[in-house]
Structure 1
């Protein structure tokens, strides 16, 4: 394993394979025009050149990646690949465990001197599929803030503008996806942690229905927590979901495996669909340029033959509900830390834990009831509408030094993201365009519970009509 460095980027080497999607790589493996060993070597060179600039990796293990690539190459030569992602480079967010690698969760409070001898379900499924695991991507401390930084790994920077955050908490996965440091990136989303950085970084992020991708060990945010694909293309997200979207006996919330592959259901289009568009959910204050870009993106669905209807949802902001459940979860996480390491956590994290400790059972259960009511409301909403479109975030990416400049870790969450963690619905962020300052803006596509296939189909149709822009390599 190698640690991150601050070395200046080397001149660009041959990286043609490292710029390809997972689907494109597999097509070349199948035809014999490229091999996993070649792809992984080029990917490692690309990471060595760009990661010192953006800081997307918390851990990189080139030796393990090369060993996995060689094994994959032998399978492809024998005509016996394990799956449709055999030999494709992949990463795990550093909230998800993997055998032999420490999962430090962006915090000095996690003791690195542990056995680290168990794969999370996502890691296990990737290994079973023959993917090449490169390492772990950065996260904010315990994934609790919307900034892409942590006391342990520092700032992860937005590849479109290095002075900006890539968004959190899955900042490293989003940057890896946007720059194609790895085609397949497993992230998490407990309140927007996949969709927000996808929007900020110009990548595609899908928060599936809760339980679609098994999670273990159980996250502190429990039923708010979704394991999620973060990729550059919609097809790659479907490939990744095909590989890891299946149950695991360690997760008692896990859903059964879908009968059909997700990749096989991308071509249905949106013609005839009933699609609602809400620019504010009834309560959000949205940057004018973001609102304009997202409105144009929503119009693209009408151009594709869908029936798009602006709606006034008139929701009350469920942030208080979310924070009640979330703060209690942070308190529980903090209580589970070894007592002698609690002081090593960020002071603001400790303050949230104290706030969570003060929540009484009646207040907590009241929030749970309000959550249920919100879920019921959207369940009824989707009796009328197949999909809902909203902005993914209310603003473009914040400055990377936001916390230092304001003296606060209380970064505003996306008002469009956490409602759908509460309701557990599938929701994706697709790149919708750039601001005049060159910052990405995301459009959120929300489906009824269990309707990932429809969300992916709509995202694929939008991607075909409005191809996602690729970020130039940062200097």
Structure 2
């Protein structure tokens, strides 16, 4: 029968339609490629699209489904990958003019290898801020990426290309990176789900210069899709010596755990952040709905001060080390803001770096104590709604850097805790707002289950935003 891909809104539903032959992977892939061709000139979510490779992969998947032998739960689902992951046959330029596209590209990162092994259809690579350095998505190489809910606005970042692609229906799934909020922030701004699992749950190679801050994370339109994709990705790889062993239970099953009766803390501002009134109201309403459904919520701050100075030291030192490995003359080609980060990073000593790591450790201990009383912590994902694209901070805000509006995210990179953003409402201007759920380290299954309950009690349309 003819494909009706517009009625299939999530990867889970798409795979179910493959099983009944209502839709084939080839039809779904063609629909995604058509959508990219139609819309990506407006949103700039992709920096590379390979229709020939995608269609070949889709035909291979179609044959497996017809034989009743798919390679996994997500076999044949159209997927993108952020241009921070090595991908055999495609350049990985990371939004930078400093990386030579003509070199050999013959290695898959662990993330890419897992996607291939499970038969997902790789459509192409998504845009990123240069080297993933900031919480919006624009770069000297790829230009400005825009939000499908309003192309005048930023999708957030640095995984903004992935978020925009999923939100606009240019592929059902994507994988981003998150060293300071880069999965969760664009998920919130684009009205999708984005998950930063426990540090090292998804292996990374090569090792990130941002060290313990760095995570990879799945991005999708539903919590079920996130769980399915995490089952694909959360498998150790020998190239990452810090990679965690897999959990005995599948995430696709754990996501349905009943969490009613568990204890949750709700912190509207972590005790020190300024939050937009609409964001505060929307997230507060979603928290009240969770409480009414049986999650035992009380308002409580975790009791730490803003760790931004330690975070910026770790961040800038890592960036400086990375940029110093580039060929001579590269600094002049960088985003001006990244040049300033490089300059600042060069001033830090090894002793100062260790002091910043000690701040992270102390923060992790504090959160461990907090979670002895509260199973999860709930906050807004971002303190503000999306703002004008092409700027690192809202024009006229007086803020000095992106960290000043992204304070809900980076503390939990420092502690390496699992944290997810789920969409919970729209502002009066029709812009998405996300709610963040944070759990103790290694409680990825718990965080997913609470997110699933939030999705059920505060339903969110899993379809695409109206194209402006």
Q: Shift of residue 211 of structure 1? A: 0.6
Inter-CA distance 151–408: structure 2 relative to 1 (3 Å threshold)? farther
Partner of 2:466: 473
C-alpha separation in 2, matches of 1:260 and 1:276: 26
**Structure 1 portions without partners, runs of 5+:** 1-12
C-alpha separation in 1, matches of 2:141 and 2:7: 28
Task: Find out whether 1:459 has 2:451 as its counterpart.
Answer: yes
Equivalences for 1:42-441 in 2 at 5 Å? 42-403=31-392, 410-411=401-402, 412-441=404-433
**Structure 2 portions without partners, runs of 5+:** none
CA contact (8 A) 2:135 2:392 kept: no
Q: Shift of residue 347 of structure 1? A: 2.5
Equivalences for 1:6-45 in 2 at 5 Å? 16=5, 19-45=8-34
C-alpha separation in 1, matches of 2:313 and 2:405: 15
For residue 20 of structure 1, give the secondary structure of its aligned residue in structure 2: coil
C-alpha separation in 2, matches of 1:329 and 1:410: 17
For residue 163 of structure 1, give the secondary structure of its aligned residue in structure 2: coil
Q: TM-score, normalised by structure 2?
A: 0.96
CA contact (8 A) 2:8 2:14 kept: no
CA contact (8 A) 2:26 2:58 kept: yes
CA contact (8 A) 1:273 1:307 kept: yes
Q: Shift of residue 50 of structure 1? A: 1.4
C-alpha separation in 2, matches of 1:408 and 1:381: 30
Higher deviation after alignment, 359-368 or 238-247: 359-368
Deviations 1:86-138 (A, max 9, x none): 11111110011100000110111111111011000010001000110110011
Higher deviation after alignment, 66-75 or 394-403: 394-403
C-alpha separation in 1, matches of 2:141 and 2:390: 16
Inter-CA distance 285–187: structure 2 relative to 1 (3 Å threshold)? same
CA contact (8 A) 2:313 2:345 kept: yes
Deviations 1:305-347 (A, max 9, x none): 0110001333210000101111100110111111143321122
Higher deviation after alignment, 448-457 or 346-355: 346-355
Aligned pairs, how many? 463
Q: Shift of residue 472 of structure 1? A: 2.8
Q: Shift of residue 18 of structure 1? A: 7.9
Q: Shift of residue 265 of structure 1? A: 1.4
Q: Shift of residue 413 of structure 1? A: 4.5
Inter-CA distance 341–401: structure 2 relative to 1 (3 Å threshold)? closer
C-alpha separation in 2, matches of 1:162 and 1:14: 29
Deviations 1:201-246 (A, max 9, x none): 1010000000111111111212111000011111111111011111
CA contact (8 A) 1:189 1:227 kept: yes
C-alpha separation in 1, matches of 2:278 and 2:388: 17
Q: TM-score, normalised by structure 1?
A: 0.94
Higher deviation after alignment, 130-139 or 171-180: 171-180
Q: Shift of residue 409 of structure 1? A: 8.6
CA contact (8 A) 1:17 1:25 kept: no
Q: Output the aligned Cα RMSD.
A: 1.7
Inter-CA distance 279–19: structure 2 relative to 1 (3 Å threshold)? same
Deviations 1:435-465 (A, max 9, x none): 1111111100000101111111111111112
Q: Shift of residue 473 of structure 1? A: 3.4
C-alpha separation in 2, matches of 1:379 and 1:152: 41
Task: Find out whether 1:447 has 2:408 as its counterpart.
Answer: no
C-alpha separation in 2, matches of 1:17 and 1:122: 28
Higher deviation after alignment, 143-152 or 399-408: 399-408
Q: Shift of residue 20 of structure 1? A: 2.7
Q: Shift of residue 408 of structure 1? A: 9.6
CA contact (8 A) 2:265 2:301 kept: no
